[in-house]
Amino acid sequence: MHAATKQHDFEPKIVAFVCTWCTYAGADLAGTSRMQYPPNVRVLKFPCTGRIDPVFILRAFQKGADGVLVSGCHPGDCHYMAGNFHARRRFAAFRALLDFVGVDLNRLQFSWVSAAEGGKWVDVVTELTERVRTMGPMPEFKELEHEEQWSGAINTPELKEAYDSIG
Amino acid sequence: MSRIGVFVCHCGENISRTVDVEQVAKAAGEIPGVAFSCDYKYMCSDPGQTLLKKAVAEHKLDGVLVAACSPRMHEKTFRKAAEAAGLNPYLCEMANIREHCSWVHEDRDMATAKAKDIVKLMVERVRKGKSLAPITVPVTKRALVIGGGIAGIQAALDIADAGHRVVLVEREPSIGGHMAQLSETFPTLDCSQCIMTPKMVDVANHPNITLFTYSEIEKVDGYIGNFQVTVKHKARSVDESKCTGCGICMTKCPKKKIPNEFDQGHGMRPAIYVPFPQAVPNTPVIDRENCTMFQSGKCGVCAKVCGPGAVDYEQKDTFTVEDVGAIVVATGFKLYTIDRKPEGSPIQGYGEFGYGTIPDIIDGMTFERLASASGPTGGKILRPSDGKEPKQVVFIQCVGSRAREKGISYCSKVCCMYTAKHTMLYHHKVHDGQAYVFFMDARTPGKGYDEFWRRAVEEEEAVYIRGMVSRMYQRGDKIVVMGSDIQVGVQVEIEADLVVLATAVQPQDGADLLAQKLGISYDKYNFYSEAHAKLKPVECATAGIYLAGACQGPKDIPDTVSQASAAAAKVMTLFAKDKLERDPVVAKVNEKYCVGCFACKKVCAYGAIEEKEIRDRQGNLIKKVAYVNPGVCGGCGTCQATCPSKSIELDGYTDEQIMAMIEAL
């Protein structure tokens, strides 16, 4: 049985932030070549990896992503000349920050996948999915999201009561 | 956005085989804000598009999502359909459930679940989408051509003949370039001057062409359709408007023994000169480094003999700014000088060949001048050292080219053919002479090229020896050429009277500096890079700049002319409209929140971000903010991810849209 169709206890949610020129096209090529990979990945398309704000990655973790992939053109191939270089620097710094706050960096991957590398896209996605699967779910950030809700909306009876008591 | 229509495509069976499209459509219909959803066998077909248009009208849809193939495939199709239905095309999006789902997964349940998720994400994108209007920028219908060789001349003439004005800028005192130096051209043995000089005259006489010779590009500002180019007009020391081209100054100049660059240093010229008799314009220039007047302040003969008083020793470099809408770069090539190792370059010279130390070892272009009727020998093949007619000539191909160990790995493309031509020219002029050619491969792709090469071997009796030369040295008045014949497997030694090296074609000196001024990219050899090797071979990645000729890579004349005409056609396409329309995916600044840190300016690869001053009614400066020039912005969005105050936004990929998609995960 193929890896993609095996039934598992835990299906990780993988979010991929990709550039439209290289990796999105590479993923298209994987499709036209009828390659197979785990269906856990959800792709968000950007014009360039340079457009990807680290906040998006944090938000994805908060919204239940167990692993995040950022992928764009190889160095020197950027459609916009230098966007991927900016992205590379930004994520080098961002990874260090995530490491500092205690996120296992194995959940975050940065890979170059060109429009001709359908096979590489399949490998990268499969590898990340399987790796995150063995790591299990990532609850920390999801809990953070609940905290954020507390600070904003008054949506629990306890909070409502507390607010009412203040008068 | 509250009335979204979702259309799920079966793509025949391509999607419906692994994705339960009915379920996907049903799930989509339950998403808040989705007013209509359905599935259809072929959405891209005419009935499919009609279905979409009807649904937009019937259900008053204000956004459309087509869940089908990759947007790279049919986004344009559906956006057009949406536009026909009265929607803004940018409110139509595609959810890729074929390439990214049905084709790559086998499990029907999981693939269906994924397709639903993809649709859910994309519905959010449509919901937060904005109507965008295509950006229009005015086009200045005037072109700049840089380089006056055959490439630049052809491009300039084509554009000018189409009725557009052209500025042609040439660095040397005359246009003509390398083609004017050639004796005869392969594969027809046309006289180069005979086919070249009429074109040069056409350029000079064309009412639409402004010709600036002895001029260089100083600075380039602006963007496609709206370039401002500063041209430096080097001081000629001769007033072009007064000079009649009589040439008396040249005959009277007392300093006459200066090696002529046009003849590869083998002929002589005076200090006031035109590079060659057919020069266009036929206006002399004073070589200030060699002119006695400029060196010692005494002489002034040319000024005294000049009837119209055109000679002006006080002339200074001047600058003009030219407004143009498109630029054709046609700066051409130079030949690899193998005696010297260029400073700071990984390229190594061929000291073992003795070029530059043994006078009778010359390069291909020098041979062209020796064979040319207007050359220093009047068209007789005479060797430089003693002026004798050489009876044995050795030609060596691939000197520099295809030699990774020497630093150049590419093939120079023209040498096989011009060496075959040289053997013919030699045989035609020296009937009892023998030509030998050392070659690695004979590369003769091109119309009539292989036939031409075979003629050189079979009819003109050139002896082709497959192998390379290891060493050359002088013995008496002969040059001993030591090489190997790898087909026979022996070492050969030839006593030659003259050796001609087919040295590599390289980009012009300063090609990299010009590229930096233009903002175009170049490879490690300084050849200019095209936007796409196969599908955009003429365009640069920088919009509005086009390439022609050997500045992009080694090319022969037919290829150069073809590319020049292609570049001209691209310019005409650009000039066919008064306004330039482009994709509105560009960044916009929220001036209210921008603090003017200009972090965006630092990361912008296009130079699209400018500083804008905000003043109150009294004219006092309140603050400086960033401004994005929509004509220049490439739409990468790097500025938005960089902006610390989040006050710059890329239309079509706003934070709001992306965050909404992430929320829907």
Helix, strand, coil shares, percent, chain B, to 5:
30, 25, 45
CB pair distance less than 8 Å for A80 and B101: no
> How far away is chain B from the Cα of A157, in angstroms, using its nearest Cα?
25
Q: If 0-12 CB within 10 Å is exposed, 13-18 middle and 19+ buried, where does residue A66 land?
A: buried
Q: Find the distance separating the first CA and the last CA of chain B, reported in whole Å.
A: 19
Best of B100, B120, B128, B535 to disrupt the A interface (most A CBs within 10 Å) is B100
Q: Which two tokens stand for residue B76?
A: 């344009």
Distance CA(B13)–CA(B37), nearest Å, equals: 19
CB-based contact, B653 to chain A, within 8 Å: yes
The answer to whether B126 touches B82, Cβ cutoff 8 Å, is: no
CB-based contact, B100 to chain A, within 8 Å: yes
Residue A3 maps to a domain: no
DSSP string, B619-661: --EEEEEEEE-TTT-----HHHHH-TT--EEETTS-HHHHHHH
List the 530-569 stretch of B: residues with Cβ below 8 A of A: 541
Query: Residue B524: its chain A contacts at CB < 8 A?
Result: none
CB pair distance less than 8 Å for A47 and B72: no
The alpha carbon torsion through B76, B82, B86, B90 (nearest 10 deg) reads: -60
Residue of B103, B106, B638 lying closest to A51 (CB–CB): B638
Distance CA(B395)–CA(B397), nearest Å, equals: 7
Distance CA(B478)–CA(B486), nearest Å, equals: 24
A78, closest residue in chain B (CA to CA): B636
The answer to whether B497 touches B479, Cβ cutoff 8 Å, is: yes
A65, closest residue in chain B (CA to CA): B665
The secondary element (H helix, E strand) that includes residue B26 is helix B21-29
Distance CA(B181)–CA(B150), nearest Å, equals: 11
B119, closest residue in chain A (CA to CA): A42
Distance CA(B114)–CA(A41), nearest Å, equals: 8
CB count in 10 Å sphere of residue B317: 13
Instruction: Note if the bond before B187 is cis, omega within 30 degrees.
Output: yes
What are the residue ranges in chain B where pLDDT is below 50?
A: 1
Task: Taking the CA atoms of B631, B636, B641 and B642 in sequence, report the sign of the dihedral they define.
Answer: negative
Residue A107: give the domain boundaries: 11-137
Q: Which of A3, A4, A10 is nearest to A133 (CA)?
A: A10
Distance CA(B137)–CA(B594), nearest Å, equals: 25
Looking at the predicted structure, is the pLDDT value of residue A2 above 50?
Answer: no
Q: Which of A108, A158, A114, A107 is nearest to A136 (CA)?
A: A107
Q: Which two tokens stand for residue B106?
A: 């086998």
User: How high is the pLDDT of residue B118?
Assistant: 96
Task: Compute the residue count for chain A.
Answer: 167
The alpha carbon torsion through A94, A99, A101, A107 (nearest 10 deg) reads: 90
B543, closest residue in chain A (CA to CA): A80
Q: Which of B594, B584, B610 is nearest to B642 (CA)?
A: B594
> How far away is chain B from the Cα of A62, in angstroms, using its nearest Cα?
9
User: How high is the pLDDT of residue A150?
Assistant: 52
The secondary element (H helix, E strand) that includes residue B567 is helix B557-575
Q: 3-class secondary structure for B282-346?
A: CCCEECCCCCHHHHHCCCCHHHHHCCCCCECCCCCCEEEEEEECEEEECCCEEECCCCCCCCCCC
Query: Residue B111: its chain A contacts at CB < 8 A?
Result: 39
The answer to whether B479 touches B360, Cβ cutoff 8 Å, is: yes
Query: Residue B642: its chain A contacts at CB < 8 A?
Result: 86
Looking at the predicted structure, is the pLDDT value of residue A7 above 80?
Answer: no
DSSP string, B445-459: -STTHHHHHHHHHHT
Q: Which of A66, A46, A134 is nearest to B636 (CA)?
A: A46
Gyration radius of chain A over CA positions: 19
Q: Using 50, 70 and 90 to split pLDDT, how confident is the model at A115? A: confident
Residue ranges of domains in chain B, CATH in brackets:
4-127 (3.40.50), 142-326+569-575 (3.50.50), 335-506 (3.50.50.60), 587-663 (3.30.70.20)
pTM of the model: 0.74
CB-based contact, B116 to chain A, within 8 Å: no
> How far away is chain B from the Cα of A44, in angstroms, using its nearest Cα?
8
Residue of B100, B111, B638 lying closest to A83 (CB–CB): B638
Residue of B110, B634, B641 lying closest to A80 (CB–CB): B634
Query: Residue A70: its chain B contacts at CB < 8 A?
Result: none
Residue of B71, B101, B103 lying closest to A34 (CB–CB): B103
User: How high is the pLDDT of residue A4?
Assistant: 46
CB pair distance less than 8 Å for A51 and B637: yes
Distance CA(B10)–CA(B16), nearest Å, equals: 5
Inter-helix orientation angle B655-663/A54-62, to 10°: 20
B114, closest residue in chain A (CA to CA): A39
> How far away is chain B from the Cα of A125, in angstroms, using its nearest Cα?
12
Inter-helix orientation angle B108-127/B655-663, to 10°: 150
The size of the A-B interface in CB pairs under 8 A is: 131
Residue of A45, A52, A79 lying closest to B641 (CB–CB): A52
CB pair distance less than 8 Å for B107 and A4: yes
Distance CA(A79)–CA(B330), nearest Å, equals: 24
Distance CA(B494)–CA(B513), nearest Å, equals: 43
The A-side interface with B (CB below 8 A) comprises 2, 4-5, 13, 15, 24-25, 27-28, 30-32, 34-37, 39, 42-48, 50-53, 56, 59-60, 63-65, 78-83, 86-87, 90, 122
Q: Which two tokens stand for residue B340?
A: 């010297």
DSSP string, B471-518: EEEEETTEEEEEEEETTTTEEEEEEESEEEEEEPEEEPTTHHHHHHHH
Q: If 0-12 CB within 10 Å is exposed, 13-18 middle and 19+ buried, where does residue B460 land?
A: middle
Distance CA(B507)–CA(B520), nearest Å, equals: 15
User: How high is the pLDDT of residue B628?
Assistant: 94
> How far away is chain A from the Cα of B508, in angstroms, using its nearest Cα?
24
The alpha carbon torsion through B494, B499, B500, B504 (nearest 10 deg) reads: 80
B108, closest residue in chain A (CA to CA): A5
Residue A124 is part of a domain; what is its CATH number?
A: 3.40.50
B107, closest residue in chain A (CA to CA): A5
Best of A22, A44, A73, A120 to disrupt the B interface (most B CBs within 10 Å) is A44
Query: Residue A90: its chain B contacts at CB < 8 A?
Result: 641
Residue of A39, A44, A80 lying closest to B107 (CB–CB): A39
Find residue B522's DSSP bridge partners: B528
Q: Which two tokens stand for residue B500?
A: 């001609």
User: How high is the pLDDT of residue A145?
Assistant: 62
Best of A43, A48, A114 to disrupt the B interface (most B CBs within 10 Å) is A48
Residue A76 maps to a domain: yes
CB-based contact, B576 to chain A, within 8 Å: no
User: How high is the pLDDT of residue B431?
Assistant: 94
B70, closest residue in chain A (CA to CA): A28
SS3 call for B355: strand
Q: Which two tokens stand for residue B117?
A: 């998720």
Residue of A32, A34, A39 lying closest to B114 (CB–CB): A39
List the 49-88 stretch of B: residues with Cβ below 8 A of A: 70-72
Q: If 0-12 CB within 10 Å is exposed, 13-18 middle and 19+ buried, where does residue B357 land?
A: exposed
Residue of B101, B641, B665 lying closest to A51 (CB–CB): B641
Q: Which of A42, A46, A41, A43 is nearest to A21 (CA)?
A: A46
Distance CA(B310)–CA(B632), nearest Å, equals: 44
The answer to whether B32 touches B120, Cβ cutoff 8 Å, is: no
Distance CA(B562)–CA(B557), nearest Å, equals: 8
Q: If 0-12 CB within 10 Å is exposed, 13-18 middle and 19+ buried, where does residue B607 land?
A: middle
**What is the Cα B613 distance to its own chain's centre?**
36
Residue A1 maps to a domain: no
Best of A11, A13, A28 to disrupt the B interface (most B CBs within 10 Å) is A28
CB-based contact, B104 to chain A, within 8 Å: yes
Phi, psi of B34 (to 5 degrees): -90, 115
Instruction: Give residue A64's region: left, alpha or beta (phi > 0; psi -120 to 50).
Output: left
Q: Using 50, 70 and 90 to split pLDDT, how confident is the model at A5? A: very low
Domain count, chain A: 1
CB count in 10 Å sphere of residue B316: 9
Q: If 0-12 CB within 10 Å is exposed, 13-18 middle and 19+ buried, where does residue B343 land?
A: exposed
Distance CA(B459)–CA(B462), nearest Å, equals: 8
Q: 3-class secondary structure for chain A?
A: CCHHHCCCCCCCCEEEEEECCCHHHHHHHHHHCCCCCCCCEEEEEECCHHHCCHHHHHHHHHCCCCEEEEEECCCCCCCCCCHHHHHHHHHHHHHHHHHHHCCCHHHEEEEECCCCCHHHHHHHHHHHHHHHHHHCCCCHHHHHHHHHHHHHCCCCHHHHHHHHHHC
